[in-house]
Amino acid sequence: MTHTRTELVALLDAHGLKPSRALGQNFVVDPNTVRRIARLADVGPGDLVLEIGAGLGSLTLALVETGAEVQALEVDRFLVGPLRSVVEPHGVTVHHADALHANYHELLGGREAVVVANLPYNVATPLVLQILETQPLIRRLLVMVQKEVGERFAAQAGDEAYGAASLRLQYFADARVVGKVGPSVFFPKPNVDSALVSIVRRDQVRIDPAMVSESALFEVIRTSFGQRRKMLRRSLAAWASEGVFERAGVEPTRRPEELTLEEFARLASAK
C-alpha cells in the first residue's frame, strides 16, 4: 500500500504542491525501498516508531505494515494535510513539528521508541546528535542520509570520513552502514547516493565520566579537528600542558583522524 512514483506525483498535483528545495525534499517512490527500510528498522507489534520527515507517507505506510505503532513528524505545513489523508486511516498520528524543536516528552509519553527517518543533508548531523544527547528513550535510529553523511556517522579511526561528529556519535552509540540507496528511487532524483545507517544507543556512554568529563573530552576533540591535517603537537599547542602527550601515551606526531575515542580520553584526562 505504499506510493509508486505515479501515485506520489498525482498526490502532489492534486494538492498543487511541488517538492521544496529549501527543505531538501526528495520523496521515496519505490515500494521495495521503503519496505527494505522498514525491515532493517526491525520493528513490529508492540514497538513505538517515531518517523521524522514523513513527507507524503510512502515510508510511513511501509512501517504500518510491520504492525508497529507509528507517530509521524512533518515540518512542512503544506504536506501535513495530504499526509494525514494518506496515513491517519491506518492509525498513524501525524504531528506538525520541527524535529529539532519537538516536545519529545509529550510525543513518547514515557515509552521507549525507534526513530526511522529520511533526513536531508543540512539537518541530518545536528538532529541525530541532538537526539542522542537529549532523548535517552530513543534507543535506536535507522536513518537514510546522504552517503557521505552516513560514512561520517559510522567512521572509525583512520577512515577518511572520520571526524569530530563520528566521535560524538561513538560516545553515545554504535553506528554502521547497513545499506546503500541510489538516486533513482527518489522524486525528484538527487545527484548523490544515500546510505542507510543503523544507530544503537549504548547502555552507558563509551567513556566513563569518572575518568574524564564529557566537556573536557570534547574540548580536546574539537580543538584537534579544528586543524585536522596538522600533527597533534601543533593543533593542540595552545591546549596542551607540559608532558601531556607522555602521560597519555599518545605520540604528538600523530594526526587527530588517527586517534580513537579512548586515546582522546587519555589525552583529556592527562592534561
Instruction: Give the pLDDT score at 9.
Output: 83
Instruction: Give the pLDDT score at 82.
Output: 95
How much is the mean pLDDT over the chain?
95
Q: Which three cell numbers stand for residue 70?
A: 507509528
What is the model's pTM? 0.94
Q: Are strands 113-118 and 48-52 parallel, antiparallel or unpaired?
A: parallel
**What are the start-end ranges of the H helices in the chain?**
5-14, 31-41, 58-65, 77-87, 104-108, 121-134, 147-154, 164-172, 214-225, 232-235, 244-248, 261-270
Instruction: Give the pLDDT score at 197.
Output: 98
Q: pLDDT tens digits for 132-156?
A: 999 999 999 999 999 999 999 999 9
The one-character DSSP state at 19 is: -
Where do the CATH 1.10.8.100 domains begin and end in the chain? 214-270
Confidence of residue 55 (pLDDT cuts 50, 70, 90): very high
Cα–Cα distance, 173 to 142 (Å, whole number): 12
Can you name the CATH fold of 214-270?
Answer: Helicase, Ruva Protein; domain 3 (1.10.8)
The one-character DSSP state at 3 is: P
Instruction: Give the pLDDT score at 37.
Output: 97
**Is the sign of the CA dihedral 219, 223, 224, 225 positive or negative?**
positive
Residue type present at position 248:
A
Instruction: Reply yes or no on whether the pLDDT at 10 is more than 90.
Output: no
Cα–Cα distance, 145 to 133 (Å, whole number): 19
Where do the CATH 3.40.50.150 domains begin and end in the chain? 5-201
Cα–Cα distance, 63 to 34 (Å, whole number): 8
**CA angle (121 as vertex; 115, 127 as ends), nearest 5:** 40
Task: Write out the H or E segment, with its range, that includes residue 250.
Answer: none
Instruction: Give the pLDDT score at 1.
Output: 65
- For the domain with range 5-201, which CATH number is right: 3.40.50.150, 3.40.50.1000, 2.102.10.10, 1.10.10.10? 3.40.50.150
Q: pLDDT tens digits for 224-249?
A: 999 988 999 999 999 999 999 999 99
Instruction: Give the pLDDT score at 20.
Output: 85
Q: pLDDT tens digits for 107-127?
A: 999 999 999 999 988 899 999
Among residues 181, 156, 160, which one has the least CA distance to residue 169? 156
Instruction: Reply yes or no on whether the pLDDT at 131 is more than 70.
Output: yes
Q: pLDDT tens digits for 161-207?
A: 999 999 999 999 999 999 999 999 998 898 999 999 999 999 999 99
Q: pLDDT tens digits for 88-103?
A: 999 999 999 999 999 9
Confidence of residue 80 (pLDDT cuts 50, 70, 90): very high
Q: What percent of the chain has pLDDT over 70?
A: 100
